[in-house]
């Protein structure tokens, strides 16, 4: 029955390991697990936000929301926004990373300037863009009119499809630097020998990109797309501040719907139901995505 | 100051946790640590710099009279106060005094038991000094007052550029919609827009459009508060609002109050819809226009429909959860002390008009450059505001509508405008949806 | 040579287009009000002025918000880095039951939209009497900052050769001693880069601040500036742009000095997943 010193040590280590992770677990439970369960619980009630009084209604919130056109429209908007802005981010990000990977004059300054949109606050980004988009005094309209592209100012944020397009563009501007830097870091680790070999085989620059660079970037792109898709799907600040969901509800995404339901319509329970459904959708997407990429890896 | 002990006691009842937090956050939160003595929080959506100066003057005077009391002023935004108050009420961390919220919002909160009855403050100010009927709009179903007016404001005033009118040969302000449309046609040009009306998804659009419904002889609710928005009048109003869409700047699809005001003040439009604040802003920011502006009542569809002036009846009220109700009452009444009150009114002359007769007649109030210069305009607005209405009080025949604030906050009316005017959706279907949406708010 | 010049021109025009909004922000903040209303607008201010910055600092609560943001972001960073460094060490270098599922849980919390957590968090703060305090925001910010920091630090930690630690243990050091003397110095660049990210995330947060705090005494810059300047009586773009510039100042400073740590953070996080 005597335990070897090795086993004793391992048990001590395991206990230490648990001790070290304990603060993380406590914080996770307090600010993530508990609120998550509470959100599901809240979604079973009808609650008036200012007084927090209400009654148990079971799953009727869910029945209601699935029957509401507004939910489906918001879901569609969320998907359009996510797919639109994500594709732009990836394309622009890879393009810019390839450019900055070459020898460019003042490369480090160029990199800083590219990175900046990602680090400024969304509040700042939105304010600046709303000022650029301004119908009367905005520089964009004046440049477009001045160069003869249009003869009337463009309504960037107040009509469709402009509002959705503007939103996607601003989102791409704000978040593509993330792709640039991540891709750039990976590009630096691709061995030159691979390019040499391709060149000896007679591959031009485009063929080299598709035959060498892209396969090497695959892993990092899988992660980037996953992360950015999640973040774009749940984006609130940028959309709320830029269009507020308008015109009507044409750019209203699910997070905005949750906020509106909770604090403008004062229906806290219904808002929680929307939030739970939104999370479920993301969960499904993520599982499917991870499965897909795993299968490809295996094959 | 007999109540000092009560106040200290209330604050010492903090939970252990709260004390721990306060300890952790000490140094970063001097305002909170000072709260050991009484601290009153005052919220207002009327926070232009000049107005803030006037409030600070009033606060300094109040603090001098009540040693140990500090008043913290917190400006809000017009589009943002509803969610912020909802959050404040549910957390119990409420302001002690709230000013300049429209009457209909206060009624909504009072109906939920969130607002303290206000009758004793009115008593302290002097009920006879208010203009007759000035506080009718604040009477709740139980007969008590939920707030009192801190000013009157005529919101849908038609502002006009006289120089442009002269140039295009327009002799007088339009009075009917047809005249208005013709005027806009003449005025628009040379890079200047006819007007700047809100078509955004916001409360400004809802509130302005309610004026158009009344301008067509319609109403949102019947006097018994049945939803009556699905009417011929609303259809006419929507039709007209759509017809004149192209006389507003292209971005009007996102305009709220501020954008429309700025457009007119900056000289980009020939007419505008706003309160008397236009006067102060033009004189401060763009004095070139100061001799070329005048105002009139907003036109109605036909001459036999009387003008309907939207007065949001800016109010003062005290949240029921305030921890310092007694002091809050004193502060609320103190805001009407002539010297400070007149400063408040002068901070935006013609924008917030006096509700006390003694102030309206006070030579100190009359003695203001802008009020003197625009005598005709300020008198017109004062008169219009006194006969004004809003969604909580659509006519003198209407019961007080305590859900009006929530109807506005729900955005149902702005949605209706956007769907019909911008998206050209079928009017019948939109009106049916809007009726349903408003009825749902009323039923909650 | 010609090709090189063309290439550089192309890259730099792309860079300048991306940077243009930021340039325009600075230019606008220096224009007097009347110039803003000029149509078409002048490219550079005719009579540059710093009056908007003076107004911002003297007549508004900007400095209060600024101080709140500094406190908030610093506190969040300290808490999160402290918890996450220990947690990452445990996840990478220890074996115990449930470790894998814990790592999965971390990944899962990425999924959670703030908007799901915000309603219960809000009610929780209300019950604890913390609503309206900076502390409530520090707690709330850990919901997104902790998973992110844990994830970044885990990849950094995994990059440190295990032999180093083993050697120290053979020499008789305790686990925590080895952590202090061997791992921590190796991990330091990773910690700095993670701290920077956490700081920036907290500095820029908007939604939690919008819902959890409604008093000026504990408002951070993001909601403070929006609340202060977007009003119905006037929209002062020059003031807004001045505020935007000032809000970005700490980021610019962090940037100038610590750029390599920032890019390293990206590399570690994204490459190793």
Residue among C128, C229, C232, C235 with most chain B CBs within 10 A, to mutate: C232
Min Cα separation C204/chain B (Å): 19
Q: Which two tokens stand for residue A74?
A: 């918001």
Say which residue the tokens 């009119």 belong to: A145
Tell which phi-psi region holds residue B189, choosing left (phi > 0), alpha (psi between -120 and 50) or beta.
Answer: left
Reading chain B (444 residues) residue by residue, the pLDDT tens digits are: 333 333 333 333 333 334 333 333 333 333 333 444 788 999 998 877 788 889 999 999 999 999 899 998 888 877 678 878 887 888 788 899 999 998 888 988 898 889 999 999 999 999 899 888 788 888 888 889 999 999 888 899 999 999 999 999 998 999 999 999 999 999 998 889 999 999 988 889 999 999 999 999 999 999 999 999 999 999 999 999 999 999 999 889 888 888 899 899 989 999 999 988 899 889 988 899 999 999 999 999 999 999 999 988 899 999 999 988 999 999 999 999 999 999 999 988 888 888 998 998 889 998 888 888 998 998 889 888 888 888 888 888 888 888 888 898 888 999 999 999 988 999 999 999 999 999 988 887
Chain A CB contacts of B105 below 8 Å: none
User: Which CATH class for the A69-298 domain?
Assistant: mainly alpha
CA distance C143 to C211: 15
Q: How far is residue C227's CA from residue C225's CA, in Å, rounded to a whole number?
A: 5
Element (H, E) at C56: helix C51-59
ipTM over 0.85: yes
A274 CB neighbour count, 10 Å cutoff: 28
Q: Tell me the chain B residues in contact with residue A51 when contact means C-beta distances shorter than 8 Å.
A: 89-90, 112-114
Total residues belonging to chain B:
444
C188 inside domain: yes
Q: Return phi, psi of residue B213, to 5°.
A: -60, -45
CA B100 remoteness from chain centre: 6
Task: Report yes or no on C258 lying in a domain.
Answer: yes
**Number of domains chain C is built from:** 1
Distance, in angstroms, between C88 CA and closest chain B CA? 26
Q: What is the block-wise mean pLDDT of chain A (299 residues), using blocks of 10 residues?
A: 72 84 86 87 87 86 90 94 96 92 83 86 92 88 84 84 94 92 83 83 82 84 86 91 86 92 85 91 85 72
Which of C39, C68, C231 is opposite residue B47, by nearest beta carbon?
C231
Within 13 Å and on the Cβ side, how many CA atoms surround A24? Answer: 30
Q: Chain C: residue nearest B268 by CA?
A: C37
A17 to chain C nearest CA, in Å?
Answer: 5
- Take residue B312 and report the two structure tokens written for it: 């949001």
Chain-chain contact of C132 with B91 (C-beta, under 8 angstroms): yes
Query: Mean pLDDT score of chain C, rounded to an integer?
Result: 83
**3-class DSSP assignment, residue B28:** coil
Q: Residue C264: inside a domain, yes or no?
A: yes
Q: Which residues pair with B72 in a beta bridge?
A: B41
Q: Provide DSSP, B360-382.
A: HT-HHHH--HHHHHTHHHHHHHH
Residues of C in contact with B75 (CB under 8 A): 227-228, 231
Pairing of β A53-56 and β A45-48? antiparallel
On whether any CB of chain A is under 8 Å from the CB of B406, the answer is yes
Q: Is residue C26 part of a domain?
A: no
Instruction: Write out residues in chain C with pLDDT < 50, as ranges.
Output: 269-273
Is A185 close to C226, i.e. CB distance below 8 A?
A: no
- What are the structural domains of chain B? 38-152+314-375 (3.40.190.10), 157-311+389-443 (3.40.190.10)
Distance between CA atoms of residues B184 and B247, nearest Å: 7
Q: From the CA of A152, how many Å to the nearest CA of chain B? A: 9
Q: Report if residue C35 sits inside a domain.
A: no
Note the Cα B67 to chain centre separation in Å: 33
Whether the CB of A134 is below 8 Å from some CB of chain B: the reply is yes
Subunit contact A247:B113, Cβ cutoff 8 A: no
Tell me whether residues B78 and C231 touch, CB distance under 8 A. Answer: yes
Q: Residue C83 sits in which domain range?
A: 68-272
Partner residue facing B80 (CB), from C134, C135, C227: C227
Most A CBs within 10 Å: which of B92, B253, B410, as the mutation test of the A interface?
B253
Q: Rounded to an integer, what distance in angstroms lies between the CA atom of residue A51 and that of residue A46? A: 12
Q: What is the pLDDT of residue B431?
A: 95
| Residue C51 maps to a domain | no
Give phi and psi for B50, each to the nearest 5. -65, -35
CA-wise closest residue to C107 among A133, A188, A283, A65: A283
Return the HEC string of B136-152: HHHECCCCCECCEECCE
List CB contacts of A168: < 8 A, sequence separation 6 or more: A81, A84, A85, A88
User: Which of C12, C120, C248 comes nearest A42 by C-beta?
Assistant: C120
| Interchain CB contact of A272 with B (< 8 Å) | no
B332/chain A closest Cα distance in angstroms? 23
Q: What is the CATH number of the domain that holds C157?
A: 1.10.3720.10
Say whether A157 and B253 touch across the interface (CB within 8 A).
Answer: yes
Q: Find, in chain A, the residue whose alpha carbon is nearest to that of C38.
A: A137
| A54–chain B Cβ distance below 8 A for any pair | no
**Inter-chain residue contact B28 with C230, CB threshold 8 Å:** no
pLDDT at site B25:
38
pTM for the predicted model, two decimal places: 0.86
Q: Which H or E element spans position A54?
A: strand A53-56
B72 touches chain C (CB under 8 A): yes
**pLDDT score of B15:** 36
CATH 1.10.3720.10 intervals, chain A: 69-298
Q: Which residues of B touch A260 (CB under 8 A)?
A: 411
Is C100 inside a domain boundary?
A: yes
Whether C232 sits inside 8 A of B76 (CB atoms) is no
Compute the radius of gyration of chain A from its Cα atoms.
25
The H or E element that residue B99 is part of is strand B97-99
Give the minimum alpha-carbon distance from C41 to chain A in angstroms, rounded to a whole number.
7
CA dihedral A163, A168, A172, A174 (to 10 degrees): 50
What chains are in contact with B, requiring at least 3 Cβ pairs below 8 Å? A, C
């Amino acid at each position: 029955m005597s335990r070897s010193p090795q086993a004793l040590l391992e048990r001590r280590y395991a206990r230490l390991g648990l001790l070290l992770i304990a603060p993380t677990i406590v914080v996770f439970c307090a600010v993530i697990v508990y609120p998550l369960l509470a959100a599901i619980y809240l979604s079973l009630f009808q609650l008036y936000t200012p007084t927090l009084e209400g009654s148990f209604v079971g799953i009727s919130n869910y029945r209601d929301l699935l029957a509401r056109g507004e939910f489906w429209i918001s879901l569609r908007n969320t998907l359009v926004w996510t797919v639109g802005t994500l594709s732009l981010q990836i394309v622009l990000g890879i393009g810019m990373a390839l450019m900055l990977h070459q020898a460019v004059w003042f490369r480090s300054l160029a990199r800083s300037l590219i990175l900046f949109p990602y680090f400024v606050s969304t509040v700042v980004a939105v304010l600046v863009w709303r000022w650029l988009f301004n119908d009367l005094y905005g520089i964009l309209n004046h440049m477009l009119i001045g160069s003869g592209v249009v003869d009337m100012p463009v309504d960037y944020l107040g009509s469709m499809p402009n509002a959705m397009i503007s939103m996607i563009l601003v989102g791409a501007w704000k978040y593509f630097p993330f792709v640039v830097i991540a891709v750039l870091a990976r590009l630096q680790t691709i061995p030159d020998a691979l390019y040499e070999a391709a060149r000896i085989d007679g591959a031009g620059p485009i063929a080299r990109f598709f035959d060498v660079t892209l396969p090497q970037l695959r892993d990092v792109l899988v992660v980037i797309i996953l992360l950015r898709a999640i973040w774009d799907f749940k984006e609130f600040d940028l959309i709320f501040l830029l269009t507020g969901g308008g015109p009507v509800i044409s750019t209203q995404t699910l997070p905005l719907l949750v906020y509106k339901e909770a604090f403008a319509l004062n229906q806290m329970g219904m808002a929680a139901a929307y939030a739970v459904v939104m999370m479920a959708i993301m969960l499904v997407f993520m599982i499917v995505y991870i499965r897909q990429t795993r299968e490809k890896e295996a094959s | 100051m007999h109540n000092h002990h009560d106040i200290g006691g209330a604050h010492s009842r903090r939970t252990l946790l709260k004390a721990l937090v306060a300890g952790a956050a000490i140094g970063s939160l001097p305002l909170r640590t000072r709260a050991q003595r009484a601290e009153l929080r005052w919220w207002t959506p009327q926070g232009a710099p000049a107005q803030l100066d006037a409030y600070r003057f009033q606060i300094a005077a109040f603090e001098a009279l009540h040693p140990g009391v500090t008043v913290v002023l917190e400006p809000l935004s017009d589009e943002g106060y509803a969610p912020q108050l909802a959050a404040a009420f549910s957390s119990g961390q409420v302001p002690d005094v709230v000013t300049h919220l429209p009457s209909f919002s206060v009624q909504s909160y009072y109906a939920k038991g969130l607002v303290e009855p206000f009758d004793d403050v009115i008593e302290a100010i002097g009920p006879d000094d208010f203009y007759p009927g000035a506080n009718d709009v604040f009477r709740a179903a139980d007969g008590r007052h939920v707030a009192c007016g801190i000013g009157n404001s005529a919101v849908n005033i038609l502002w006009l550029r006289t120089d442009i009118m002269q140039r295009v040969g327009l002799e007088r302000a339009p009075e009917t919609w047809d005249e208005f449309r013709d005027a806009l046609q003449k005025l628009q040009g040379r890079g200047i827009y006819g007007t700047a009306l809100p078509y955004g998804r916001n409360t400004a659009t809802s509130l302005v459009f309610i004026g158009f419904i009344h301008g067509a002889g319609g109403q949102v609710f019947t006097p018994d508060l049945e939803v009556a928005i699905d009417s011929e009048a609303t259809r006419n109003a929507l039709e007209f609002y759509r017809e004149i869409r192209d006389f507003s700047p292209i971005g009007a699809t996102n305009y709220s109050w501020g954008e429309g005001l700025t457009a007119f003040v900056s000289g980009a439009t020939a007419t505008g819809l706003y309160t008397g604040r236009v006067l102060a802003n033009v004189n401060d920011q763009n004095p070139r226009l100061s001799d070329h502006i005048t105002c009139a009542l907003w036109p109605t569809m036909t001459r036999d429909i009387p003008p309907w002036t939207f007065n949001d009846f800016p109010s003062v009220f005290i949240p029921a959860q305030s921890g310092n109700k007694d002091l809050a009452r004193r502060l609320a009444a103190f805001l009407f002390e002539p010297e400070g009150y007149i400063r408040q009114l002068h901070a935006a002359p013609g924008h917030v008009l006096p509700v006390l007769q003694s102030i309206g007649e006070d030579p100190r109030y009359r003695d203001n450059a802008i009020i003197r210069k625009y005598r005709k305009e300020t008198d017109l607005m004062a008169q219009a505001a006194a006969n004004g209405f809003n969604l909580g009080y659509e006519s003198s025949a209407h019961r007080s509508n305590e859900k009006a604030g929530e109807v506005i906050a729900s955005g149902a009316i702005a949605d209706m405008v956007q769907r019909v005017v911008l998206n050209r959706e079928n009017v019948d279907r939109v009106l049916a949806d809007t009726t349903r949406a408003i009825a749902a708010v009323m039923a909650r | 040579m010609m090709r090189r010049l063309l290439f550089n021109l192309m890259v730099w025009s792309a860079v300048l287009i991306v940077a243009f909004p930021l340039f325009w922000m600075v230019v606008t903040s220096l224009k007097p009000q009347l110039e803003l209303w000029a149509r078409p607008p002048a490219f550079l201010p005719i009579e540059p002025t710093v009056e908007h910055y003076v107004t911002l600092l003297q007549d508004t609560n900007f400095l209060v918000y600024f101080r709140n943001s500094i406190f908030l972001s610093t506190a969040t960073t300290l808490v999160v880095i402290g918890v996450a460094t220990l947690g990452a060490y445990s996840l990478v270098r220890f074996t115990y039951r449930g470790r894998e599922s814990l790592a999965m849980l971390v990944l899962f919390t990425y999924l959670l939209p703030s908007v799901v957590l915000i309603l219960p968090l809000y009610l929780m703060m209300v019950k604890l009497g913390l609503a309206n305090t900076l502390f409530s925001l520090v707690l709330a910010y850990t919901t997104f900052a902790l998973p992110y920091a844990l994830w970044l630090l885990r990849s950094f930690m995994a990059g440190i050769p295990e032999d180093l630690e083993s050697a120290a243990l053979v020499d008789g050091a305790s686990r925590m001693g080895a952590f202090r003397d061997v791992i921590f110095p190796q991990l330091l660049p990773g910690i700095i880069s993670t701290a920077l990210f956490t700081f920036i995330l907290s500095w820029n947060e908007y939604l939690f601040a919008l819902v959890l705090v409604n008093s000026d005494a504990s408002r951070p810059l993001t909601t403070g500036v929006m609340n202060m300047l977007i009003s119905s009586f006037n929209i002062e773009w020059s003031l807004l742009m001045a505020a935007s510039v000032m809000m970005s100042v700490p980021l610019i400073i962090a940037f100038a000095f610590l750029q390599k740590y920032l890019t390293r953070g990206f590399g570690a996080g994204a490459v190793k997943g």
